[in-house]
Amino acid sequence: MVNDKNIFALTVLFNSPNEIIDAVSKVRDAGYTRYDVHTPYPVHGLEKAMKLPTTKIGIFAFIFGLIGVISAVTLITWITLYEYPLVIGGKPFWSWPAFVPVSFEITVLFTAVLSTIVLIVLYFKFPNISHPLHDTSYMKAVSSDKYGIAIEATDPIFDFEKTKEFLESLNPQTLEIIYYNLEELNHKPKVYDLKFILLLIVIGLTSSAVTYFTLNKLMFMQPFNWMMLQEKIKSQEKSSIFSNGIGMQKPVTGTVARGFMPYPYSGQPAEAEKYLLNPLLPTKEVIERGKSKYLTFCSPCHGNFGHGDSRLRGQFPNPPTLHSDKMRAMKDGGIYHIITEGQNIMPGYASQISREDRWAIVHYIRVLQRAHNPKEEDLK
């Protein structure tokens, strides 16, 4: 007689997918719940015949994705707000559109990796890597070309004789009784075996040591070490030479670059208007150049034709028209001074527009003014 306690399952093998689907429906209808089907490849319709509930992987994946996106956003928030706030292009520290790609990637990563690990642990009971079906002729057959059903002895309605009779009535090719291998059952999971872990450690240490030695000692050549070894301040390092600790000092106030004359009428609009003369002739090229620069730098506020009709929709106060009597009477030097140093809330453009271009703009403003208030002879 067989000892019921040692039986893991009763298994039967079939020759074709049709037979297995038929047999599975009967097993299911007979009321068995703890059984499994093994086929060499995914057989369509099997899950319907087994009446399997919808998989719960989606719920797991959703939770892991949620963990991923929360971790990513938390980490980024902590870095950008507390640990290392950096001004990037004047944007706010917590600038969420920039976080989207990274958070998305982390979400996918967490979902994929955690789902895989957790499912292996939950369903395959890792680290227990042995299973009674392993190493049986049944498993060899179903991983080759047979289709099998295994009804486990833990099934509530399992009765050795009755179940065997029932399975035989399905006309299987073979019927096999699978016993627990008690020795294996009492054995600790093999991955925790001390010898195995020691072997892993030895392999890890040896291969890292060999790689390190080969790449960093044996094959390493230092090409130009004088630049690597020289005394220097690396970015964000403190300099011990200067009292304020900054390595790259600002030039002393009043420093003048070689070959460069500083603007002599700083803060003196009246003098600028009086003494400065436009060095350019109003040729076609000069006016074209002035037009291009005017449209780039001035038109956003002053409008394309100088009427003070800004395109900024109230983000900056509208300037007065450039066709006023005051402006038409102002000499070139005065306008040049306003472009150079600004006036009240209008900023100076000395750092953005070269001196020549500033003079060219003045010529172009004259063109606009004359087009707006033509003289008698212009109309002839």
The number of residues making up the chain comes to 380
3-state secondary structure of 178: strand
Span near ligand HEC by CB under 6 A; candidates 25-33, 215-223, 246-254, 344-352: 344-352
With CB under 6 A as the contact rule, the residue among 346, 348, 350, 356 that binds ligand HEC is 346
Of 20-28, 113-121, 182-190, 319-327: span binding ligand HEC (CB under 6 A): 319-327
Give the pair of three-digit tokens for residue 46.
Answer: 């099997």
What gap in Å lies between CA 133 and CA 344, rounded to an integer? 88
Rounded to whole angstroms, the Cα distance separating 288 from 357 reads: 11
Q: One-letter amino acid identity for 184?
A: E
- Judged by CB under 6 A, the stretch of 207-215, 218-226, 282-290, 322-330 that binds ligand HEC is 322-330
The single-letter DSSP state of residue 241 is S
Chain positions 280 to 309 lying near ligand HEC, rule: CB under 6 A, are: 297-298, 300-302
- Cα-only R_g, the chain: 42
**Is 338 among the residues that bind ligand HEC (CB under 6 A)?**
yes
What is the spatial distance between Cα 74 and Cα 103, in angstroms, rounded to a whole number?
Answer: 10
Q: Which is nearer to ligand HEC, 164 or 328 (CB)?
A: 328
Pick from 208, 266, 343, 354 the residue near ligand HEC by CB under 6 A.
343
Q: Whole-number minimum distance, CB 363 to ligand HEC, in Å?
A: 11
- Residue among 21 and 365 whose Cβ is closer to ligand HEC: 365
- Looking at the Cβ atoms of 148 and 319, the one nearer to ligand HEC is 319
| Nearer residue to ligand HEC within complex by CB, 20 or 322 | 322
* 337 part of the interface to ligand HEC, by CB under 6 A: no
Strand partners for 10: 151, 177
Q: Does 316 bind ligand HEC (CB under 6 A)?
A: yes
- Cα 39 from chain centroid (whole Å): 40
Residue 212 neighbours by CB distance under 10 Å:
11
Strand (E) or helix (H) holding 296? none
Contact criterion met (CB below 8 Å) for 40 and 144: yes
The binding site for ligand HEC (CB under 6 A) comprises: 297-298, 300-302, 316-317, 319-320, 322, 324, 326-327, 335, 338-339, 343-346, 349, 361
